[in-house]
Structure 1
Amino acid sequence: MQNKQMKHVVHGAFILSLASLIAKILSAVYRVPFQNLVGNTGFYVYQQIYPLYGIGMTFALSGLPVFISKLVAEQTDPGWQRETLRRSALLLAALSGLIFVGLQLGDSAIAQAMGDHQLAPLIDAVAWMFLFMPWLALSRGFFQGRFMMVPTALSQVAEQVVRVAVILIAAIWAVRANWSVYKMGTWAMSGAVFGALAASIVLAYYWQHSVSHAKVATSLGVPRYHDLLRRFLAEGGSLCLYASLIVLLQLLDSFSVKNNLVVAGLGQAAAKSLKGVYDRGQPLVQLGLVLATALSTSLLPSLTRALQRQRLNAFYRQAVMMIRLSFTFSVAAAGGLIALMPGVNRLLFGNTQGNLALALYMLSIVFVALISSYSSVFQSLGEYRLPTVALLVGLAVKLVFNGWAVRRWQINGASAVTILALVVMFLLIWWRSKSYLRHALFRQHFLLKLMICAGSMTLVVSGAYALLVQWLQPSRLATGGLVFICVILGGSLFLFLARSLRLLTVREWLALPLGKKFLQRFK
């Protein structure tokens, strides 16, 4: 019976991971045609407000549902589960109401703090999405607590498909109707509301067919309001913060980059355009994190299984494997993007503006993957304090140094401070980790071998691309072909060196998709 339930959990986790992967790819890819349609300034307008949506989305999708699923799983009686959800709903309704009112009343002040009063209508548009947050978080958390992952998965994909469709339709219509970039941005931001509505409909369908109508016989087993609030702030808050890590750093950029570019001497139009160039980094980082995140997520069920069976050695082994695999492929992704940044930038965005800033920003792929892996291990063990403290310290570093760096080095400075903040977060978590986690990156000369593999790949790929460009003088479309050839070359070289140097153990290779076939072919 226990094995059957565990198989059900692992199958559910796979479905949720696949849906999350699809949603992340959609969320990253649509920005390329969107930027091509609306230009740097239109992209700046959208990206200035996007972090507000991103925070709401992680609340409703990643952070709070995980916490609520834990609350549901703790209650054995269906009536107690419903009462826990009811009390949680009241707390979440109060929170979302405060956020909605705060954004509606403070839209002008927030826009002014970002240095652009014309952003106020976009803030008003995205505020409505927060009214859906209690229902989305509660229903997803309930289903996940019952190990029913399909409703959450379908609602996540539906939300992204509808939102992306609204954004691209708004961009196309804005170009044809000659709208201002701010009117276009307002309609694009309304995609968040339509997406939340689509997700709500999907979840309501499953709710109607799945929820028991048992009455509460007693409230003795239900958490009290003040205990529930304390846990929401401590555990739920920690999960939400880490789910919003990249978005929170981008929010700080929204308040400081454009303003400090103006202080540094750029005109308003030039500062907005340059901030739009800097914002190209976000979809590239998201794409770079897709593989590393997918690997981490796929190994999380085995961590849970090892803990449930109290097999600590298996837990340690799986944790180390998750960290090493995530680190390996995040370094490979970052190295490849850095080597090919001139080609990727030209292919996707039409020119090579901001190459250095974007190349620096790609290093965040490595540190976000490491931070996510280590914090996942801590949270699996029920330890939330250290990851939260480390994140807050990193955000403080970004807040303190970002303005000075932008005034001195423009968007190169903003990228550098983002990396500095992430490095500080990671070092704090790593320093306070258990010894088996601290040594995970150094056993059997793992770090040295990885640097050889990634460094060789980066040098060969960047050299090959530079020679081909100089020889062929390709068009923008032909640049895509060169990038593809160099990706194949770089990936093959990295895998060949990784196997030759025995970067990964046989167990780690076998944990990868097609890992067994790769080992057999290599032999």
Structure 2
Amino acid sequence: MQKNSVRTVMRGAMILSVAALFAKVLSAVYRVPFQNMVGNTGFYVYQQIYPIYGIGMTFALNGLPVLISKLIAEAKDDNERHQIVHQALLQLEIFSVAVFLALYFGANGIAREMGDTALAPIIMSVAWMFLFMPFLSVARGYYQGQFNMVPTAVSQLVEQVVRVVIILGVAVLATRMHWSPYVMGAMAMSSAAIAAAAASITLWRFFRVLRQPYQGRVDWYTLGKRLLVEGGIICLFSAMMVLLQLVDSFTVKTGLVANGLPDAAAKAQKGIYDRGQPLVQLGLVIATSFSASLLPALAQAYHQHHVQTFVRVSTTLLRVSLTLSAAATTGMVVLMPQINTMLFSNGEGDSVLAVYVLSILLSALITTYNSVLQSLNQFRLTLIGLCCGLLVKAAGNAWAVRTFGIVGASWMTVASLLVILGVIWFGSDRRYRAAVWQNGFGWKLTLICGGMGIGVRLGVLVFYQVLAPGFPRLASALILGIMVPIGAALFLMGANRLNLLTIREWLTLPLGDHLVRLGQRLKKVGK
């Protein structure tokens, strides 16, 4: 590949990465003002159905386009690429229509299983977006397979912006016109299909590809098997947290009612519990956003049979991800009362959310290690781990909620993630993970996080005595504004003093050279 071609590919990959990061942040952030406007019950109504949308979005954005781009890149010529495009589109259309019919005409049954039959119109509303999934998946995969990332990035941004604007607009109207939470939910979920249509319009050039003639066709069975097996595994793992949330949709509210809570109170409690989802999503963005820059190096080292390089890069990937996710998790746990009050206006469910955000650490490690295993073309182990974790969540969630209340659902999410991590961690080749713990990395990280957590918590107690107690939301915002940078400084100081990461590992982070210099200054201050 010529130098200009390489530059074009790298530019496209950077555009796609930035677009994906922006979309993830936007997808997490909009739910805070949305919850503030619609309240706990309105948030419950929206979040009950959100996992269904989340699964469809994963199929159309992350999972299927990745596989289709691989098939396009492997094709020998344009004729074979056109065969793949048409056959994949046809197979996915059959699948998406089946999903649409199952959701639309099975909405009453699904809502009944969720313990709230009024949710049926909202399920029908979100079902329409699945009809756009085949076109979006194949078009994005085709362009990515041609190393043109811009169409995917543009369609992704348009889809998220349109959806968020509609959702927040619906929330404003629902507040002013006093709509019921269920009317609001149906209107908000209609944004999924409208946004998918808008994204499809940005990919209009793909219709030219579909009109081009071709001869023959790829093997129907082989293509279908790859879409089902490889595409299915990628989609399922990309939707890991959404699948766990889907289990919550069927078990949490019904479990609370079975535990003796009135129906209205159970809905409000589920809405409070759902506050944890945007927090975890933001934490995961922080913990895993850097990893994409190292994945090409992993794949290259594996294909060139450079075992030592592969082990070194995978170790760096895991250690840095573990460091960032541990810091983010610790900070959220100790500052949860202030985070909850500042974002959602009150401290309801602090302990429940503090447990739930432990998912950040586990999910980040699972996602990162899964990237390592995918570079080794090891898909079966990750599928087994995911199935085991989902089985634990599905089997134990209702019991945990009936026995321990809403915090039981948080603990079951943590337990299921531990199972997934345990299966893929201990079931894989030891040499790809053993180096992570060298030089006392585990105890150093534990000591640093513990010291940061204690220091931040003591600082919070001091500032609460100083700030006016009559304005809890303002006080919480001020405390967070002070304690977050202090906590970051404490963590960085401890990491440098104990040599947690090597210079090379620090430099993999954005602004890594500045962090190294800052850490050295803090280290001198601490002496």
Number of residue pairs matched? 518
Q: Distance between the aligned counterparts of 1:333 and 1:519, measured in 2?
A: 19
Which residue in 2 is equivalent to 1:271?
Answer: 266
1:311 corresponds to which of 303, 306, 309:
306
Map of 1:234-383 to 2, 5 A cutoff?
234-383=229-378
Deviations along 1:364-386, whole A, 9 cap, x unmatched? 00111111111111112222111
Which residue in 2 is equivalent to 1:216?
Answer: 214
Map of 1:133-282 to 2, 5 A cutoff?
133-205=133-205, 207=206, 211=209, 215-219=213-217, 222=218, 224-282=219-277
Give the letter for the 1:497 counterpart. G
2:513 corresponds to which of 489, 513, 516:
516
Per-residue deviation at 1:2? 6.2
Q: Distance between the aligned counterparts of 2:74 and 2:339, measured in 1?
A: 48
Q: What secondary structure sits across from 2:436 in the alignment?
A: coil
Q: Distance between the aligned counterparts of 1:405 and 1:437, measured in 2?
A: 35
Confirm or deny: 8 A CA contact 1:285 1:362 kept in the other structure.
yes
Deviations along 1:185-225, whole A, 9 cap, x unmatched? 000001111111111111224x357x497643454xx3x11
Deviations along 1:220-274, whole A, 9 cap, x unmatched? xx3x111111111211010000110000000000000000100000000000000
- Normalising by structure 1, what TM-score? 0.96
Give the letter for the 1:500 counterpart. R
Relative distance call for 1:6 and 1:503 in structure 2 (3 A) is farther
Which residue in 2 is equivalent to 1:112?
Answer: 112
Q: Distance between the aligned counterparts of 2:9 and 2:309, measured in 1?
A: 18
2:87 equivalent to 1:87: yes
Relative distance call for 1:14 and 1:305 in structure 2 (3 A) is farther
Give the letter for the 2:413 counterpart. T
Q: Distance between the aligned counterparts of 1:144 and 1:307, measured in 2?
A: 22
Q: Which has the larger displacement, 124-133 or 431-440?
A: 431-440
The gaps in structure 2 that reach 5 residues or longer are: 521-527
Give the letter for the 1:96 counterpart. S
2:430 corresponds to which of 429, 432, 435:
435
Give the letter for the 2:170 counterpart. A
2:484 equivalent to 1:487: yes
Confirm or deny: 8 A CA contact 2:315 2:433 kept in the other structure.
no
Per-residue deviation at 1:423? 0.2
1:454 corresponds to which of 438, 449, 455:
449
Quote the RMSD (CA, aligned, Å).
1.6
Deviations along 1:79-135, whole A, 9 cap, x unmatched? 100111111111100110000000011000000000000000000000000000000
Q: What is the percent sequence identity of the aligned residues? A: 50
Relative distance call for 1:183 and 1:218 in structure 2 (3 A) is closer
Which residue in 1 is equivalent to 2:71?
Answer: 71
Give the letter for the 1:256 counterpart. T
Give the letter for the 1:216 counterpart. Y
Q: What secondary structure sits across from 1:190 in the alignment?
A: helix
Q: What secondary structure sits across from 2:355 in the alignment?
A: helix
Q: What secondary structure sits across from 2:428 in the alignment?
A: coil
Q: Distance between the aligned counterparts of 1:144 and 1:479, measured in 2?
A: 44
Which residue in 1 is equivalent to 2:523?
Answer: none
Confirm or deny: 8 A CA contact 1:323 1:440 kept in the other structure.
no
Q: Distance between the aligned counterparts of 1:362 and 1:217, measured in 2?
A: 53
Confirm or deny: 8 A CA contact 1:65 1:141 kept in the other structure.
yes
2:474 corresponds to which of 461, 473, 477:
477
Q: Distance between the aligned counterparts of 1:504 and 1:4, measured in 2?
A: 36
TM superposition outliers: structure 1 runs of 4+ over 6 Å: none
Confirm or deny: 8 A CA contact 2:67 2:141 kept in the other structure.
yes
- Normalising by structure 2, what TM-score? 0.95
Per-residue deviation at 1:323? 1.2
Q: Which has the larger displacement, 51-60 or 16-25?
A: 16-25
Confirm or deny: 8 A CA contact 1:79 1:214 kept in the other structure.
no
Deviations along 1:12-39, whole A, 9 cap, x unmatched? 3222111111001100110011000000
Confirm or deny: 8 A CA contact 2:492 2:519 kept in the other structure.
no
Q: What secondary structure sits across from 1:353 in the alignment?
A: coil
Which residue in 1 is equivalent to 2:412?
Answer: 417
Confirm or deny: 8 A CA contact 1:125 1:190 kept in the other structure.
yes
Per-residue deviation at 1:337? 0.5
Q: What secondary structure sits across from 1:383 in the alignment?
A: coil
Q: Distance between the aligned counterparts of 1:397 and 1:232, measured in 2?
A: 27
Confirm or deny: 8 A CA contact 1:132 1:197 kept in the other structure.
yes
Per-residue deviation at 1:512? 1.1
Relative distance call for 1:265 and 1:521 in structure 2 (3 A) is closer
Q: Distance between the aligned counterparts of 2:322 and 2:409, measured in 1?
A: 24
Q: Distance between the aligned counterparts of 1:470 and 1:270, measured in 2?
A: 33
Q: Distance between the aligned counterparts of 1:317 and 1:212, measured in 2?
A: 44
Which residue in 2 is equivalent to 1:43?
Answer: 43
Per-residue deviation at 1:469? 1.4
Q: Distance between the aligned counterparts of 1:455 and 1:189, measured in 2?
A: 42
Q: Distance between the aligned counterparts of 1:11 and 1:319, measured in 2?
A: 24
Q: What secondary structure sits across from 2:157 in the alignment?
A: helix
Give the letter for the 1:485 counterpart. I
Q: Distance between the aligned counterparts of 1:6 and 1:304, measured in 2?
A: 17
Deviations along 1:21-63, whole A, 9 cap, x unmatched? 1001100110011000000000000000000000000000001
Deviations along 1:307-358, whole A, 9 cap, x unmatched? 4544333222222111111111011111000010000000000111111110
Confirm or deny: 8 A CA contact 2:325 2:364 kept in the other structure.
yes
Give the letter for the 2:484 counterpart. V
Q: Distance between the aligned counterparts of 2:435 and 2:66, measured in 1?
A: 27
Q: Which has the larger displacement, 132-141 or 426-435?
A: 426-435
Q: Distance between the aligned counterparts of 2:270 and 2:77, measured in 1?
A: 53
Q: Distance between the aligned counterparts of 2:211 and 2:133, measured in 1?
A: 23
Q: What secondary structure sits across from 2:203 in the alignment?
A: helix
Confirm or deny: 8 A CA contact 1:9 1:301 kept in the other structure.
no
Q: Distance between the aligned counterparts of 2:213 and 2:310, measured in 1?
A: 39
Give the letter for the 1:255 counterpart. F
Per-residue deviation at 1:304? 2.9
